[in-house]
Amino acid sequence: MEDNLEQFHTESIPDKVETEKRPGFLRFVIDVLETLILSVILFAAINTVSARIRVDGSSMEPTLHSGEFVIVNKLSYKFSEPMIGDVIVFHFPRDPEQEYIKRVIGLPGERVEIRDGDVYVNDRPIEEDYIAADPAYDIISEVPEDSLFVLGDNRNNSSDSHNWGPVPLDFVVGKAVFVYWPPTEWGFIDHPPVAIAAP
């Protein structure tokens, strides 16, 4: 009788341990799945309202430098219109797979002229304290109603609208707002209101 009782206890102990382990393992699996699902949702939400790009080249110096990483607000122009002086990210019209970053100089329907190192919008000169040097080229461009005229701040070392024309509004990704890498360059990107001389 005692032998049978001991055998009964010996067989029942592993079953009890196994029963206790299962809920703990299932809880762990559920926690992992919940974390993964939440991460995917957050990632999708962040990508809906923002983008991240790497500055490649010197065309936006001294405002932005090659190798910096920038956060782009993709909702900026859902609720407002671009303004002269805004730094924007857009799909390159000649190769939409590429993304460029430049400054808005001409709005839809405006006339942009560059002559003798000065930029004119609708025949009025604009003041630009953010450029590396005065442009060493001349150009006249009538901006279509559905487009923007953009230039790099490093005017004489930039591939921009003075080379390949205006950017369709549909190609605009958003407004560049913040440099987040490297840490030494953290900060908001300057979008100064551009002063246009009175007529």
The residues spanned by each domain of the chain are 1-50, 55-196
- One-letter identity of residue 156: N
Catalytic residues: 59, 102
Question: Concatenated DSSP letters for 88-136?
Answer: EEEEETTEEEEEEEEEEEE-TT-EEEEETTEEEETTEEEE-SS-SS---
Q: What is the pLDDT of residues 63-99, one digit of tens each?
A: 999 999 999 999 989 889 999 999 999 999 999 999 9
Predicted TM-score (pTM) of the model is 0.77
């190609």: which residue's tokens?
Answer: 171
* Nearest one of 141, 148, 147, 140 to 103, comparing CA atoms: 148
The tokens of 35 are what? 């974390």
Tell the CATH superfamily of the 55-196 domain.
Umud Fragment, subunit A (2.10.109.10)
Q: What is the pLDDT of residues 36-70, one digit of tens each?
A: 777 676 666 555 555 889 999 999 999 999 999 99
